[in-house]
A = this chain, B = another copy of it.
Amino acid sequence: MSPAAPPAGPEARTPSQQARRQRILDASLTLLRERDHDRIQMKDVAEQAGVALGTVYRYFSSKEHLFAEVLVAWAATLGTNISRHPLRGTTDAERLTEVLHRSVRAFQRQPSLARLVATLETSSDPLAAEIFDRLARITDAVYVGALHDVDRDTAQRIVAVVDAVLASGLRTWVAGRVPIGRVYDDLTDAIALLLGARAQLARS
């Protein structure tokens, strides 16, 4: 049988375990500031967290799960980042563009996180699926909120498209196939296409 029931979720038993778990996540995030997750070894994480390798595995059943949880933790930051300041734009297009550019900027500051997202995106682990759901809920709410002049359903559909453009842009950027400026531009462009004709229509 298994070694014992490990503390699965964030609801660790004792405070010290809670702290230990957090220390491992923090350590991972720290290491991600200097290199990609595929250049980070589990023993590096253990060492950085001041914990034995076995302990890392007690809290996270695999490297993939560990980094998925790291992403969850970071997602909260992202949500705060893009919704902290009020949007300055006066049109839907301006506001949506602004908020998406903020997302790009957040990933631009943490390229390893962008690469992590790109990698986990192709994982079929159920935990990964749940995490993307959560990430999408956080960001989509903000994106949809930027659209004042269209009904909710249309807003959702527009956001879905724009999200795809964002994801594609980030992926080609982290793969080194396009400069980051291109990602900003493509988003601006896509939004113009999606809202431009619509605005003209409304105006007439």
Residues of B within 8 A of A121 (CB): 118, 171-172, 175
CB distance from A2 to the nearest CB of B (A): 26
Beyond the given pairs A118-B121, A124-B174, 20 more chain A to chain B contacts, judged by CB atoms under 8 angstroms and listed by A's residue number, are A115-B122, A118-B122, A119-B122, A121-B175, A123-B175, A129-B176, A129-B177, A154-B193, A157-B190, A157-B193, A160-B189, A161-B164, A161-B165, A161-B190, A164-B164, A164-B190, A167-B167, A167-B168, A167-B171, A197-B201
A26 lies within 8 A of chain B by Cβ = no
* Contact residues, A93-133 vs B (CB, 8 A): 115, 118-119, 121-124, 128-129, 132
A204 lies within 8 A of chain B by Cβ = yes
A163 lies within 8 A of chain B by Cβ = yes
Chain A: residues with CB nearer than 8 A to chain B?
Answer: 115, 118-119, 121-124, 128-129, 132, 154, 157-158, 160-161, 163-165, 167-169, 171-172, 174-177, 186, 189-190, 193-194, 197-198, 200-201, 204
Q: In the complex, what residue of chain B is closest to A120 when comparing beta carbons?
A: B175
Q: In the complex, what residue of chain B is closest to A192 when comparing beta carbons?
A: B157
Taking a contact as CB atoms closer than 8 A, the residue among B124, B168, B175 that contacts A124 in the complex is: B175
Residues of B within 8 A of A161 (CB): 161, 164-165, 189-190, 193-194
Residues of B within 8 A of A157 (CB): 189-190, 193
Q: In the complex, what residue of chain B is closest to A121 when comparing beta carbons?
A: B171
